[in-house]
Chains A and B, each alone.
Chain A
Amino acid sequence: MLKEYKADFHIHSCLSPCGDIQMTPKAIAEQAKANGLNAICICDHNSSENTAAAIEACKQNGIELLFGMEVNSKEEVHTLALFDDIHSLNELQKTVYDNLNGENDDETFGYQMVINEDDEIADINPRLLIGATELTVETIVDRIHELGGIALASHVDRERFSLIGQLGFIPPDLKLDGVEISPNYIRKSMRYDFPMAPGFTQVTFSDAHFLHDIGKTFTIFLVEKITVSEIKKALENKDGRSVIAYS
């Protein structure tokens, strides 16, 4: 049976250098529940190491979880990757780490905290997670698809770190599953349709770096359950599945 799911699939945890230290997987899941979300995905910059801790936290709060990452390309274009399982995400993680250079300076960029299932700091990630990988945006999108995931262009309306800002327009051969519009675009322009991405299904998520932003912006999917294949169908408007609203 089809059901409406209120989803926020772009949330940064305290593993992202720019993510607030209060953004532990447990706190994120609790806040998601409090804000009436049904499904979330933690998408940290170039890393997935806080996803394992989110599994139990989401279960306890009745929140559906997808497994994700926000990958930064050679061109400094951000792409959201969403998967059904942690195994596929870990495979993407390997590809990303193999192509990511540099060490983080936590005084400058912020601490990158890996959190365990007991909501404690297990490790500090030393990599330069905010950096650009050596992978082209095409390679990233193809790799996501090879691993069975969904590839969405992050905040395409923004000037920095977006597909359109960095590369001027959406490359014609790029096989994206959809594009994300940032909350700022909707607030500033008072419109929901972004004109520079014709033919792509648009969604919007919070891109939250602080607890109070979680679920402020969301997309409602009409699907049977929260899986990659169902979300893909919704993005393609197939079999009655659809993206019915965003705010």
Chain B
Amino acid sequence: MNLKDIIERLDLKVYSGNTDREVSGGYASDLLSDVIANAKPDNLWITLQTHMNIVAVANLKELSGIILINNREPEETTLSKAKEEDITILSTGMQCFELVGKLYEMGIHGNGE
């Protein structure tokens, strides 16, 4: 599935990065160490963490994007780093459970493994 379609259907706010990307699956976690261990390339990552380290993790794991839940905004330092490294940061007013449910309905059933 293309990230653009997801953004449109779920009305996500775009903070940074390229939105024309393929999404291989999804991973939801607020422990960055866990994301490093378990997310797969091109996964869409759902989290409440807004720290600058999310950009490095997305880069390292070649994720297709990050969705911040509950109307969270990226820190300034996070956003400037995301722009610099072309990492896609999105946000939604939905809570994690609701967002993951919607993504599941759209056909994203796991991290693609």
Q: How far is the CB of B91 from chain A (nearest CB, A)?
A: 16
Contact A137–B33 (Cβ < 8 Å): no
Complex alpha-carbon distance, A165 and B77, angstroms: 20
Q: Which of B50, B53, B75 contacts A168 (CB 8 A)?
A: B53
Whether a CB of chain B sits under 8 angstroms from the CB of A136 is yes
Q: How far is the CB of A139 from chain B (nearest CB, A)?
A: 10
Complex alpha-carbon distance, A171 and B50, angstroms: 13
Q: How far is the CB of A179 from chain B (nearest CB, A)?
A: 15
Whether a CB of chain B sits under 8 angstroms from the CB of A159 is yes
Closest to A77 in B: B51
Whether a CB of chain B sits under 8 angstroms from the CB of A150 is no
Q: Which residues of B contact A208 (CB under 8 A)?
A: none
Closest to B72 in A: A74
Contact B33–A164 (Cβ < 8 Å): yes
Whether a CB of chain A sits under 8 angstroms from the CB of B57 is yes
Whether a CB of chain A sits under 8 angstroms from the CB of B1 is no
Residues of B in contact, count (CB < 8 Å): 16
Closest to B52 in A: A171
Contact A136–B51 (Cβ < 8 Å): yes
Contact A169–B51 (Cβ < 8 Å): no
Residues of A in contact, count (CB < 8 Å): 15
Whether a CB of chain B sits under 8 angstroms from the CB of A166 is yes
Q: How far is the CB of A199 from chain B (nearest CB, A)?
A: 17
Contact A168–B52 (Cβ < 8 Å): no
Q: Which residues of A contact B30 (CB under 8 A)?
A: 76, 166
Complex alpha-carbon distance, A75 and B30, angstroms: 9
Complex alpha-carbon distance, A231 and B22, angstroms: 52
Complex alpha-carbon distance, A237 and B56, angstroms: 31
Q: Which residues of B contact A159 (CB under 8 A)?
A: 31, 33-34
Complex alpha-carbon distance, A164 and B53, angstroms: 10
Q: Which of B31, B35, B36, B53 contacts A171 (CB 8 A)?
A: B53
Complex alpha-carbon distance, A88 and B18, angstroms: 46
Whether a CB of chain B sits under 8 angstroms from the CB of A167 is yes
Closest to A75 in B: B51
Q: Which residues of A contact B36 (CB under 8 A)?
A: 168
Contact B75–A167 (Cβ < 8 Å): no
Q: Which residues of A contact B35 (CB under 8 A)?
A: 168
Q: Which residues of A contact B75 (CB under 8 A)?
A: 136
Closest to A139 in B: B75
Closest to A160 in B: B31
Which residues of B, 15-56, contact A by the 8 Å Cβ criterion? 30-36, 49-53, 56
Contact A165–B51 (Cβ < 8 Å): no
Q: Which of A165, A166, A168 contacts B56 (CB 8 A)?
A: A168
List 14 interface pairs A-B (beta carbons < 8 Å), by A numbering: A74-B50, A76-B30, A159-B33, A165-B33, A166-B32, A166-B33, A167-B33, A167-B53, A168-B33, A168-B36, A168-B57, A169-B32, A169-B56, A171-B51
Q: Show the binding face of B for A, using Cβ within 8 Å.
A: 30-36, 49-53, 56-57, 75, 77
9 closest A-B pairs (Cβ-Cβ)?
A168-B32, A167-B53, A165-B33, A167-B32, A75-B51, A168-B36, A168-B33, A168-B57, A168-B53
Taking A164-B33, A165-B33, A171-B53 as known contacts, 13 extra A-B pairs with beta carbons closer than 8 A to each other, sorted by chain A number, are A75-B49, A75-B51, A76-B30, A136-B75, A138-B77, A159-B34, A167-B33, A167-B51, A167-B53, A168-B32, A168-B36, A171-B51, A171-B52
